[in-house]
Structure 1
């Protein structure tokens, strides 16, 4: 497998993860028993981190390196999408997950998590599509 194939695999992995999170996992938070949500959420975030963190921490440097080696507009645009998605992850999503872990199971927090995840979903999907070009 060459580096471009690895990139496509990682990009596609992030697309699958984000769409599952956006359409299935985050909305399920709204239907969970609130007395068990914090405990379930803590277990979920620990477990899903074993999947997401290696993909994210491989994808970003790989796409950065490939963009440096072949600085096309498509590569640059995909890299920028990933960078913005990272920024949103660590400035918006992670703090919201910490709120939930701290016991904030309000509908407002869950709705904000769902709403603010849309840009990340779109950005990682765009990075994948751009990488195909």
Structure 2
């Protein structure tokens, strides 16, 4: 095991913990706000969470793209594809949902979609972490 493998495991662990907190605590909590309260809270939430999410997302992506070219193997390819899939899901599904909240146009359906569709990213980052952990023990 090399240092880059440990770093990739740390990025994956950080994102898996974060996504499970978002899935089980943060997104479900949105439904307890009034529209006005949600708009105010959401603006604060997105700024605060961005300080955690952005370094993890970019760090993970940059590292896996680097590993694809420097230490290519099936595991790295799979984990890179999973990482890119999480990015695609984030920008295709979640950015528009969050924009709907920011614009004050969210409904109960919007908030339910945040929770139900977020299982996609929860599954991706959980699988990514498990695969990385399995490569560590093999």
Give TM class, smaller chain: over 0.9
Which portions of structure 1, spanning 4 or more consecutive aligned residues, are displaced by more than 4 angstroms? none
- 2:97·2:114 contact (CA, 8 Å) conserved in 1? yes
State the 1:118 CA deviation.
Answer: 0.7
**What secondary structure is seen at the aligned counterpart in 2 of 1:54?**
helix
**What secondary structure is seen at the aligned counterpart in 2 of 1:85?**
helix
Equivalent in the alignment of 1:34 = 35
Q: TM-score, normalised by structure 1?
A: 0.94
Equivalent in the alignment of 1:6 = 7
Q: Number of paired residues? A: 133
Equivalent in the alignment of 1:82 = 83
62-71 vs 89-98, which deviates more?
Answer: 62-71
**What secondary structure is seen at the aligned counterpart in 2 of 1:79?**
helix
Structure 1: runs of 5 or more not aligned: none
- 1:26·1:113 contact (CA, 8 Å) conserved in 2? yes
Equivalent in the alignment of 1:52 = 53
**What secondary structure is seen at the aligned counterpart in 1 of 2:32?**
coil
How do residues 18-29 of structure 1 correspond to structure 2 at under 5 angstroms?
18-29=19-30
After superposition, the CA RMSD in angstroms is 1.3
State the 1:108 CA deviation.
Answer: 0.4
Q: Deviations over 1:97-124 (max 9, x none)?
A: 0100000231000011111111111111
Structure 1: distance between partners of 2:63 and 2:123: 20
Structure 2: runs of 5 or more not aligned: none
Equivalent in the alignment of 2:107 = 106
Q: TM-score, normalised by structure 2?
A: 0.91
